[in-house]
């Protein structure tokens, strides 16, 4: 009897030690995964910052070089014509302003796209982290206790959390796409208002002429 009790105690102690070892291994795996994810996020942020800095430098070089080229053209015109024409200078200044505005718009678009990509990547990394942690928790629960009434709440929480995360990701991506499309449409509509008005006027005139010709017949 004493031997049986000793064997049972030894088995219980071995089981507890195994559970503790498994929990420690899982905690170490979680810590390693979190560290890897943090390193990946930091690398992504550094790459995006470097890209933004390169874009700013390139746009600055383009702006400065365009201004220098236009100044050289002005000097050549002044030397060749030998007369400072105010109209030419005004036109050149307007061209400079238009070029600078176009470059600024392009830089802003590129920065917005890069920030959107960064947001989506970070969101995906966050989702992957949550899913991995949930899977590890489920595995731990399965190892520690295999009863159905213990696993059922964990599975329900896992399904709800994953669903909410996926819905949030989809909504965020849709919002980003709508924002970018809205910005592009606003810029395009500002450029195309005049042509739209002309088209509408021509269509109304064409309709009026067809109606009047039908009445004459």
Tell me the mean pLDDT in the region 70-88.
64
Distance CA 135, CA 153 (A): 14
Out of 72-76, 77-81, 114-118, pick the least confident. 77-81
pLDDT at residue 216, as a whole number: 44
Instruction: Check: CB of residue 120 under 8 Å from CB of residue 64.
Output: no
pLDDT in tens, 164-178: 666 666 676 676 667
- Residue 26: enclosing H or E segment and its boundaries? helix 2-81
Tell me the mean pLDDT in the region 128-132.
70
pLDDT in tens, 2-50: 555 666 666 667 666 766 776 777 778 777 877 877 787 778 778 777 8
Burial class (CB in 10 A: 0-12, 13-18, 19+), 138: middle
Which residues have a Cβ under 8 Å from the Cβ of 33 and sit 6 or more positions away? 129, 132, 133
Average pLDDT, the chain: 65
pLDDT at residue 9, as a whole number: 65
Q: What is the DSSP letter of 123?
A: H
Integer CA distances (angstroms), 135 to 28, 103, 132, 163, 177, in order: 15, 48, 5, 14, 31
Distance CA 77, CA 90 (A): 13
């Amino acid at each position: 009897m004493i031997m049986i009790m000793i064997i049972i105690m030894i088995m219980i102690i071995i089981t507890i030690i195994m559970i503790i070892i498994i929990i420690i291994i899982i905690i170490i795996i979680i810590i390693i995964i979190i560290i890897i994810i943090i390193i990946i996020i930091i690398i992504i942020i550094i790459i995006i910052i470097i890209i933004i800095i390169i874009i700013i430098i390139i746009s600055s070089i383009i702006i400065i070089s365009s201004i220098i080229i236009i100044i050289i053209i002005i000097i050549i015109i002044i030397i060749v014509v030998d007369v400072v024409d105010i109209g030419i200078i005004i036109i050149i200044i307007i061209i400079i302003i238009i070029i600078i505005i176009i470059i600024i718009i392009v830089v802003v678009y590129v920065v917005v796209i890069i920030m959107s990509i960064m947001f989506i990547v970070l969101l995906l990394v966050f989702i992957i982290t949550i899913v991995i942690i949930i899977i590890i928790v489920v595995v731990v629960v399965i190892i520690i206790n295999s009863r159905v009434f213990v696993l059922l709440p964990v599975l329900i929480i896992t399904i709800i959390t994953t669903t909410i995360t996926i819905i949030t990701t989809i909504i965020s991506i849709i919002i980003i796409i709508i924002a970018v499309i809205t910005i592009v449409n606003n810029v395009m509509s500002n450029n195309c208002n005049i042509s739209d008005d002309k088209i509408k006027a021509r269509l109304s005139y064409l309709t009026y002429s067809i109606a009047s010709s039908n009445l004459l017949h």
